Amino acid sequence: MTQEVPAADPTLLGREFATAMVNFHTATGRLLGLSAVERKCMDTLRTLGPVPAGTIAEHTGLTTGAVTGLVDRLEKAGYAKRTRDPKDRRRVVVELIPNDRVDALLAAVFVPFGSDMAELSAKYSPAELRAINDWIQRTTDILVANTQRISAPDFEHKL
């Protein structure tokens, strides 16, 4: 006779998930000699392509000053460069520098991860996957909204 496992506390489960995600990205960044934030910035650049520093700030939740330092570190490490925007030469954009070693390393990290996630996803019905996707999207929206709320300049004054 099998016992039904009680549902986990969603708050605790969410914390464990967030910790596992941070640890995964920290370990991935460490392989490149980067912090998790620097590695996620590279991911943002990989997704968006060349963008101004302000766009990086919007997508990462960092201040523009913090992004300047972050881009400086990525440039020093040889992962990114600042260039003039070809559409508006007055603007500077940040772009990744092609790097076969980085691509191979990220493939070694993310190809098995992707396979594991595909194997996990195959265990769920289309309806269950829609519910999971809906939950993840809504959770992401809540995280983005709350990040913006606590990042507002006057947040501490409201306490």
Domains and CATH numbers, the chain: 11-98 (1.10.10.10), 99-151 (no CATH)
pLDDT tens for 76-89 read 999 999 999 888 88
- Average pLDDT taken over every residue of the chain: 90
The predicted model gives 27-54 an average pLDDT of 93
H/E stretch holding 43: helix 36-48
Handedness of CA 22, 75, 98, 64 (dihedral sign): positive
Angle value at C-alpha 127, between 124 and 128, nearest 5 degrees: 40
What does residue 110 show for φ and ψ, rounded to 5 degrees? -90, -25
Q: Give the model's pLDDT for residue 84.
A: 92
Q: pTM of this prediction?
A: 0.78
Pairing outcome for strands 88-96 and 80-85: antiparallel
pLDDT band at 95 (very low <50, low <70, confident <90, very high): very high
111 pLDDT higher than 70: yes
Q: Give the model's pLDDT for residue 1.
A: 45
**pLDDT above 90 as % of the chain:** 68
